[in-house]
């Protein structure tokens, strides 16, 4: 009976995460300044803190301190999750901007780029599934069950940012 309840909760959680993810990935419509400066502002450096934000070493250190309580750990996990979600929202928005810019460049290009379209679709799928996985793991982290690894998501964003950077100098005169 407990297994059935747990499975139902997990399925409902995954469904909710999928809906949130679909809504998040579907947003867009912002004007994009396709300039090298704009792309340089889209740095992965701003996401470096999130790579360590949910590190278990901090929790383990907290547990060794005098006066430690489970309430303190729960509160720390909750605060870290909230900060992490903020970073995740920014990363998702930046990834969407880069993808939108690439789509814009492809539609305005004089040459067909099926290779770029394929890479873009593949990277968007990887990002969406990675984001879904992170949201699920983040819920589990909050209750102390597992850790969250965001490095792959940051690397996907960086790959697409670099791809955009290679295309913009040639296209900036026609799109800017």
Please tell me the predicted confidence (pLDDT) of residue 86. 94
What region does 144 belong to: left with phi over 0, alpha with psi -120 to 50, or beta?
left
Q: For position 138, what pLDDT does the model report?
A: 92
Query: What is the pLDDT at residue 170?
Result: 47
CA distance 120 to 99: 7
User: Which residues 6+ apart lie within 8 Å of 171 measured at CB?
Assistant: 34, 105, 108, 109
**pLDDT at res. 34:** 57
Is-contact 105 117, C-beta < 8 A?
Answer: no
What's the average pLDDT block by block, 10 residues per block, for the chain (176 residues)?
A: 80 72 54 60 86 87 90 91 94 91 83 84 94 92 87 93 77 44
- Model pTM score: 0.73
Among candidate residues 39, 35, 50, 41, the one with its CA nearest the CA of residue 161? 39
Question: What distances in angstroms separate CA 160 from CA 15, 23, 128, 140, one per listed residue?
Answer: 28, 21, 14, 29
pLDDT of residue 174: 44
> Cα–Cα distance between 14 and 112 in angstroms, integer?
37
């Amino acid at each position: 009976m407990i297994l059935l309840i747990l499975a139902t909760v997990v399925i409902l959680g995954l469904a909710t995460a999928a809906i949130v993810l679909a809504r998040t990935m579907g947003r867009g419509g912002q004007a994009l300044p396709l300039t090298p400066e704009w792309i340089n502002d889209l740095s992965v450096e701003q996401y470096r803190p999130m790579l360590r934000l949910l590190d278990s070493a901090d929790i383990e250190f907290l547990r060794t301190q005098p006066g430690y309580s489970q309430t303190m750990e729960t509160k720390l996990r909750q605060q870290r999750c909230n900060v992490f979600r903020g970073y995740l929202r920014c990363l998702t928005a930046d990834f969407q901007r880069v993808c939108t810019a690439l789509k814009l460049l492809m539609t305005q290009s004089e040459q067909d780029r099926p290779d770029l379209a394929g890479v873009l679709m593949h990277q968007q799928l990887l990002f969406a599934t990675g984001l879904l996985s992170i949201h699920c793991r983040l819920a589990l982290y909050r209750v102390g069950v597992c850790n969250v690894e965001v490095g792959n998501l940051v690397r996907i964003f960086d790959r697409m940012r670099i791809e955009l950077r290679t295309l913009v100098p040639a296209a900036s005169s026609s799109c800017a």
